Amino acid sequence: MPAHPTIVAGLARAFSMSLFLFNKPFHVLCQFTDEAGRPTLADYLDVPNVYPAGRLDFDSEGLVLLTDDGPLKTRIAHPRHGVGKTYLAQVEGTLTDEAIARLVQGVSLKDGPAAALSAKSVTEPAWLWARQPPIRQRKHIPTSWLEMELDEGRNRQVRRMTAAVGFPTLRLIRTRIGTLGLGGLSPGAYRELGQDEIRRAFAEGPRSRRRPPGDNRR
């Protein structure tokens, strides 16, 4: 789906907004304050007037984009703009081709059907950092790694989808939003994008990868 004309016009007219990549650690809230005293973005980012474009669960890790520009925030986060989010999930059990196919075909969740843009079994990447604390694994039960892309971000959606096909998620890392990846950022680190990088990433809206109703091509 093309980007909203107002957003494109604003981007073309002047790139004066800020956009940051942040690698959110495990057990950090994706907000700047917390009355309960839990770790927040403020413990890692000393940047005024920026807000996360979308959320990432407290017990999930990985890429968060933060901006001071409202239209750009909407452009990144709202499902109607079709910006894909890619996740790496460590799941309990040995993944099957049937389960992976079901994730793409769609599963039923309490808040409606959900389908991945893509899903595939992968090996644990060499670049991945060790989580602290490590996941709790059950003795004699193997784990598998899954890469999955979504174009929406409902609450705990990846975890609910893998559970629906019989493979509970043990660890979840968001690795990419649109064309932007972690780029070697360590947990807790952040980087500001240049204006040319913002333009390349978001000045032109991606076309939707969803098939139209009735299109059953494989």
Write the DSSP symbol of residue 32.
S
With 0-12 / 13-18 / 19 or more C-beta atoms within 10 angstroms meaning exposed / middle / buried, residue 113 is exposed
Catalytic, out of 34, 57, 59, 69: 57
Task: Tell me, yes or no, if 57 is annotated catalytic.
Answer: yes
**H-state helical runs in the chain:** 5-13, 70-77, 97-105, 157-164, 195-202
Q: Helices 157-164 & 97-105, crossing angle to 10 degrees?
A: 130
CA angle 85, 127, 176 (to 5 degrees): 10
Active centre residues (catalytic): 57
